[in-house]
Amino acid sequence: MSSPLTIRNLTSRPVEVKRCEYHSIAPSLSQGGFANITQNVTSLFRNATSPAAPPVVEPTTSFVHEDVSIRIDPFKSLATQIRPQSANETLHLIFDTEGEQHRLETPTPTSNSTTLKPLTDNPRFNYTAVHLPDHSHLTLYSSANLSSWMRFFKDDTPLSALSIPGTHNSPTCHRALPSVRCQAISPPEQLDNGVRFFDIRVQPEAPLDPANDRLILVHGVFPISLTGNKYLRDLLQEVYAFLDRNPSETLIMSLKREGTGNATDAQLSRILKDHYAGDPNRWFTAPRIPYLGEARGKIVLIRRFGLEDALKQEWGGAGWGIDAANWADNTPNATCPSGDVCVQDFYEVLETVNIDKKIQYSQEHLERAAKCVCTLPAQDQLATLPPKQPFFINFLTASNFWKVGCWPEKIAAKLNPAIVDFLCRKHNESAGQPEAGGDGSTGIVVCDWVGHRGDWDLVRCIIGMNAKLEMREHGL
């Protein structure tokens, strides 16, 4: 029999369980048609980002309930005496926050996230829950409108303090060679669902022709689509359109030169400066980590390429863009010489048994980010006090072209759920204590195949880890 339910509250306010309800599934459904009904119910929770989720179908005949009073303080875990549902039941919990009640309706055991249903009009709070039935564990996060989640943070928030979901080889959602495709969902859909870091690789089409400024999107030496070249300019138009609709947001873009041909980093830097990233209203290209207010509505450039000599003199000789040019290769943990980027990018998973090593490195980097406590300066200090902590960039990605079990989608199918589990149950806990001393940030978590079949659980968990920072900012 499963152990009683443990509830972890990763929101900025205490919550109290007021009522438990166990709904019995109708016998006719639990026999012939139960599997179909279960699948339909589960699918309703699969895409928690839907603006208007359909009503929950409740295939029940009766229920029993118990009134309780179980308080879980912010960022605490509590082992309750709540019995998990059996195979022929669904469990409903009523939570109370400052007199406002929300109902959690779990279908049959599933690790999918679900949004709690407010039991009042115009609710002040919104919650998402992730149920991990294998561990009899439930984690509560503050919900956010994923298309504009950054609006809740102050302008003087250092961008490196935020927990930010990202994607690896972000535009590789097209039909492509094995290991070239890394994403299931297009970049505009990624942005609408909360992704705020893009990893982009480009190849100058004709670096010696001043009239040709086109940059081909590539992954390694391969184009990202078998149906013809895709170009950075078209991707940027999609990003600009998103930022125009959501001016509270920013997008961090890591750019790197890959592909075939004889182009140089210096040539790429000049093409980008002259034809793409020269507009200060669209791009933040200072060689430092910005505050959120400086970056709203813009793309923040992290460059993984060297500069043309003239561009080294930009910004008073400090260079151009956040410098990640000397990014250590295949590393479990390294800091770029600029000090602005600390990266985990171990990607040589040559055998499936090495996926566990990748999971370990990813979890360790999450812990490094979680220990940081960011400085929140006064508004008048912005010009003189740069953020102190680096971007912790954590790649949950790896591949081996020659092993089907190590293609990006196969590794993501194991690694993404493992990180969801870690974030829900262990992130920012220390020595058995329910709360560690840091802000609990994840840093930038760079993923493959998020949003596949509507599964945005990993993105929601990452964004949810901003709750402690938000609490500090607003003095809760």
Q: For 146-206, what is the HEC assignment?
A: HHHHHHHCCCCCEHHHCCEEEECCCCCCCCCCCCCCCCCCCHHHHHHCCCCEEEEEEEECC
* 20 alpha-carbon distance from chain centroid: 31
**Tokens matching residue 313:** 């003199």
pLDDT at 430: 61
| Distance of alpha carbon 345 from alpha carbon 330, whole angstroms | 5
pLDDT at 40: 36
Identify the three-state secondary structure at position 275: helix
Strands (DSSP E) contained in 259-367 are: 283-284, 299-303, 322-323, 334-335, 341-344
**Tokens matching residue 422:** 């870690």
pLDDT at 28: 53
How many beta carbons lie within 10 A of that of residue 328, not counting itself?
14
The answer to whether 389 and 372 are in contact (CB under 8 A) is yes
**Tokens matching residue 84:** 């998990």
Identify the three-state secondary structure at position 392: strand
**Tokens matching residue 201:** 């690789």
Helices (H) and strands (E) in the chain, counts: 11, 22
CA dihedral 178, 182, 184, 188 (to 10 degrees): -140
Give, rounded to a whole angstrom, the gap between the first and last alpha carbons of the chain.
Answer: 39
The answer to whether 416 and 458 are in contact (CB under 8 A) is yes
Rg (CA), the chain: 23
pLDDT at 79: 96
Identify the three-state secondary structure at position 268: helix
pTM (whole model) above 0.75: yes
| Distance of alpha carbon 198 from alpha carbon 200, whole angstroms | 6
* 448 alpha-carbon distance from chain centroid: 11
- What letter does residue 296 receive in the DSSP assignment? T
Beta-carbon contacts of residue 235 (< 8 Å; ≥ 6 apart): 171, 187, 200, 217
pLDDT at 257: 98
**Tokens matching residue 330:** 């295949």
pLDDT at 49: 40
Residue that the structure tokens 């990018």 belong to: 345
| Distance of alpha carbon 129 from alpha carbon 72, whole angstroms | 14
What residues in the chain have per-residue pLDDT under 70?
Answer: 1, 26-62, 107-111, 377-387, 430-436
